Amino acid sequence: MVNKMPIYLTLRLLTTVLCIVVLLYPFNQFYWHYGWEINIPYADLFIMFAGFMTLILIIKDVFKKSLFSIPKQLFINLIPLLFLILAGALSLTNIWSEQMMASIKYWWRFVAFYYIFYFLLVQFLVNNEKRFWVMSWCMYVVGIFLSIMGLVSFVWPEIPQALHITAPLSWFGLFPYGSSHNLLAEALVSIILFSWLLVYRYQSKEYSKWLYFGLASMIGIALLTFSRTGWLVLFIELFILGIIYYKQKARLFIRKYWWTGLIVLVILFIYLVTFGQTYFVTSSNDARIAMISKSWQLFIDHPIIGNGVGTWQEIVGKDIYYVYEFGQPLEQHGVLWKLMAEQGVFGVLVWFSMMLYFIVVLLKNYMRFDKNNHWRWGALIAVLVVVGQFIFQLLDTGYYSAKMWLPLGLAFALMYISQNHLNSQEIK
């Protein structure tokens, strides 16, 4: 008992640290500063601390005490990381010497670090139902907080727009979440799915109506971001979930709520003739077209292995014509165009193969469940989380951030947990 107590406390501390990581992961511009050169997002500090604690437990032969189980799939998921590192390494051969150190730092910091800590480590540590539901509650809390922030920004916008939209707010003059409405939508499209599963689990509880209200608020705020990518992803996720969940009543549902489709069409029409015609939107469209054109030019220069990982912003930032017209580039909109410019055909094939492989693995897991098994909804949510992030990154560039990799890590953790309940009938 004396020997077990320190391990028990360590595991409790580890769960607490993971909770903090989940609560902070969307705020990737909330930095800890040290001197002039070092700035690290607080979520990264805590996830590194969790990794350090895990290493200590491994050294103490924790596996012999069955505190952690290592699914075979987790070892297989190391293979895409090797290919990601290889694609980045090959692209470094085309980098000029002045950019080399910055690109190597980008290669480790954004390509390898997020995959190892937010994807592999998270699916390794969230290894039981209790810990998963704790993380789900944390995701729900983050979703509520983001919804409140979005609602405040909608009523009292900090950045004037043609129409009021929901967007991140500043804290004491800083934007720890960033300032783009797309960033809000990017996190919510995954949080909404985990929150739905939480609502499904507690639907018989007296307080479930408040959980439903919170979930509806997240969906409403996501729609009010007016993020076209967010709209597309959220529609696909909820459409697939709705069709499968209400399969037996699909026709009745359509007949009863056909008017909701009409409302959506009216809203889209209003968007196109109002907000969609504003300078804010049209200039964004022009900038995206210019970015795509520039990426294509860079791709033509080095089509096989690209111009170097992490170099896109640096190269485009030195294009005086682009900067004069649109200002300094923040990031390419769309993983395809960024990878084409930075890592060529090889990088594109690696990334798309990896994501499609993840989807196939999770989909096969879902297909194993009987229709009466309630855990199939957990397996389905795992699939939709990855599908949603895959589609989002086709039109955006969060694939080197915790906003994509942490939900993917939780999705695989959910898959491992669901596999233990292939013969179970209810989610506990």
d(CA 81, CA 75): 11
Length of the chain in residues, anyone? 428
Instruction: Look up residue 259 and give its amino acid.
Output: W
**Torsions phi, psi of 38, nearest 5?**
-100, 125
Q: How far is it, in rounded angstroms, from Cα 37 to Cα 333?
A: 28
Residue with tokens 């990426």: 295
Question: Would you state the pLDDT for residue 62?
Answer: 64
DSSP 106-160: HIIIIIIHHIIIIIIIHHHH--SHHHHHHHHHHHHHHHHHHHHHHHHHHHS-SS-
Which pLDDT score is estimated for 229? 86
H helix or E strand, kind and range, residue 172: none
Angle (CA) 85-87-92 rounded to 5° is: 95
3-class SS of residue 415? helix
- In the Cβ-directed half-sphere of 353, how many Cα atoms lie within 13 Å? 13
Query: Closest by alpha carbon to 410, among 142, 148, 111, 53?
Result: 142
Show pLDDT as tens, one digit a residue, over the chain (428 residues): 445 546 666 778 899 999 999 999 988 777 777 766 777 888 999 999 999 988 888 877 666 666 677 888 999 999 999 999 999 999 888 887 778 888 888 888 888 999 999 999 999 999 889 999 999 999 999 999 999 988 888 888 776 655 677 777 776 666 666 667 778 888 999 999 999 999 999 988 888 889 999 999 999 999 888 888 888 899 999 988 988 887 755 566 666 666 666 666 666 666 555 555 555 555 566 667 777 778 888 889 889 998 888 887 777 777 776 666 666 666 767 888 888 888 999 999 999 999 999 999 999 999 999 888 889 999 999 999 999 999 999 887 666 788 899 999 999 999 999 998 877 655 65
Of 275, 274, 289, the closest CA to residue 225 belongs to 275
- Residues 6+ away with beta carbon under 8 Å from 81: 112, 115, 116, 120
Helix, strand, coil share of the chain (percent; to 5): 75, 0, 25
- Cα–chain center distance at 191: 9
208-224 vs 181-201: helix axis angle to the nearest 10?
160
Query: Of 125, 7, 15, which Cα lies nearest the Cα of 61?
Result: 7
Task: Give the per-residue pLDDT at 124.
Answer: 93
Residue 253 pLDDT:
62
AA letter at 354: M
Residue 326 identity (one-letter amino acid): F
SS3 373: coil
Torsion of CA 153, 158, 162, 163, to 10 degrees: 10
